[in-house]
Amino acid sequence: MTSMRWLCCAASLLFAVPAAALADGSSRPYGGGGPIGAPDIVAKYNKSGERFRIEGHCQSSCTMLLAIRNVCVSPDAELAFHAALFPNERGQTPPPKRQAAMLNSYKPALRRYLVANHYVDSFEFHTISGREIISKFGYKACP
């Protein structure tokens, strides 16, 4: 294949992908949680207005990305919640300020559910499917 023909094929593939899909952020790089800088990521996407997709496995601090205004959730996603504790703090009570910051990342219905069901009392993970996050707690489904 000539280089010009290859370039034309590559260009046509690029234009076949919707522009919005190219700009979407994804939770995949942050799925394992830990020190991901969730407040900075939330601020970045809230400032730009770009869509951010929660997809795949999203645990711990990754779930705080639900605070992005233009977030959508893949029905196949799995979100794993626990108290605002670090692994070396297992068995302790979550610090109130850190716990409040984490809980304020979620819509009120999800926050109430997590607290009422004791999902955020300990470091034990509790998984909620993307389908449930969408249907029970009012998050948008990803197109």
Q: What pLDDT is recorded for position 103?
A: 98
CA atoms of 109 and 133, how far apart (whole Å): 10
pLDDT in tens, 27-68: 999 999 989 999 999 999 999 999 999 999 999 999 999 999
Q: What pLDDT is recorded for position 1?
A: 44
- Return phi, psi of residue 91, to 5°: 85, -5
Residue 22 has pLDDT above 70, yes or no: no
35 with 86: CB under 8 angstroms?
no
Q: What pLDDT is recorded for position 87?
A: 87
More confident call, 7 vs 1:
1
CA atoms within 13 A on the CB side of 47: 6
More confident call, 119 vs 18:
119
Q: What pLDDT is recorded for position 77?
A: 98
Q: What pLDDT is recorded for position 20?
A: 40
pLDDT in tens, 86-123: 888 888 999 999 999 999 999 999 999 999 999 999 99
The residue ranges of every structural domain in the chain are 19-137
Report the predicted TM-score, pTM, of the whole model to 2 decimal places. 0.82
Residue 4 has pLDDT above 50, yes or no: no
Q: Largest Cα–Cα distance of the chain, in whole Å?
A: 65
Q: What pLDDT is recorded for position 21?
A: 44
Non-local (6+) Cβ contacts of 37 within 8 A are none
50 with 23: CB under 8 angstroms?
yes
